[in-house]
Amino acid sequence: MEIFDPVLYSIAENRFFLKHMGESPVAVMQSPLPKGVCAEAVEEVLGKVYELDELQKHRGTSWVGHAPITSSIELYLREWDRWAADAKRGAPRFPTLHAWDGKGRPHRGAVGSDSSRVTTYMDADGKRQPFRVELHDVGTPQDFKPSWVKEEEPLPDALVEDAEKGVLQCPVDGWATNYNPDSRSAYNMAKARMSRHCKTSKDDRVREFGLKVFG
C-alpha cells in the first residue's frame, strides 16, 4: 500500500484506525474486532503504518508519518457527517459526485465531478481536494510545477454579447452565432444554439463553461 485513502474503508474502520494508529495489528487483533471492522483492513492499514514506523526507526527510511493519515481520516469523518446532515435538507448524499452550475444546481457525473466513487471534498473556496495521502510524499513529483505549464484562468461568468450587431460569442473558444437584434425570439434561439455548442464541445473547459452558464 503506497496510498492511504479513507474512502476505501468503512466509517467503523476509520474510527478504529484513529484509535489504534501506530499499534501492531497482531496485538490489536488479540481482542475481538468491533462490528463493521474487517481484519483484512486492519492488517492492510495498521500493518503498513507499523511496518513504516519500524523501517524509519531501524533503517532511517522516511515517510509522511501518522499526522497526514490521521488528518485525512478526521476530515473524511467530518465531511461524512456534514454530507449526511445536508442530505436531510435535500442536498445530494455525496455532493462531490456532482458538478454544480452557476445557479447552484447539481449535475451527477458531469465534467469535473468525482466519477464512480467519492475521491474529493470541497474546501472553503469551493475547490476540490483529495482525501488520499501519499505515504512516501517527499515533495516530488507532485510539488514540481514545470515552467511551461500555466495555471488555468478561472472560467468566465457570462457570454460575450454584442446587442447592436446581434452576436453571441463563447469566451472560452471564440465560437459565435448571429441573431436579429430586433427579435427577442431570435436572441433566445441564438442562446439555445450557444448552449448546444458548449454542452457538446470536445473541449472540457467549454463544456464546464456551458454547465456554469446554462446549467
**pLDDT, one tens digit for every residue, the chain (215 residues):** 899 999 999 999 999 999 999 999 999 999 999 999 999 999 999 999 999 999 999 998 899 999 999 999 999 999 999 999 988 988 888 888 877 677 777 777 777 787 778 888 888 887 888 999 999 865 544 555 666 556 667 888 889 999 889 999 999 899 999 999 899 999 999 999 999 998 888 888 888 888 888 87
Greatest C-alpha distance within the chain: 81
Helices 184-200 & 204-214 angle (0-180, nearest 10): 140
Q: Is 168 within the bounds of a domain?
A: yes
Q: Is 23 within the bounds of a domain?
A: no
Q: Is 175 within the bounds of a domain?
A: yes
Residues 6+ apart with CB under 8 A from 119: 5, 7, 96, 130, 131, 132
Q: Is 16 within the bounds of a domain?
A: no
Q: Is 93 within the bounds of a domain?
A: no
Q: Is 89 within the bounds of a domain?
A: no
Q: Is 132 within the bounds of a domain?
A: no
Q: Decide if 118 contacts 94 (C-beta within 8 A).
A: yes
Q: Is 174 within the bounds of a domain?
A: yes
All cell numbers assigned to 210: 456551458
Q: What is the dihedral of CA 42, 44, 46, 51, to 10 degrees?
A: 150
Count of CB atoms situated within 10 Å of the CB of 149: 8
**Domain boundaries, position 169:** 160-214
- Domain count across the chain: 1
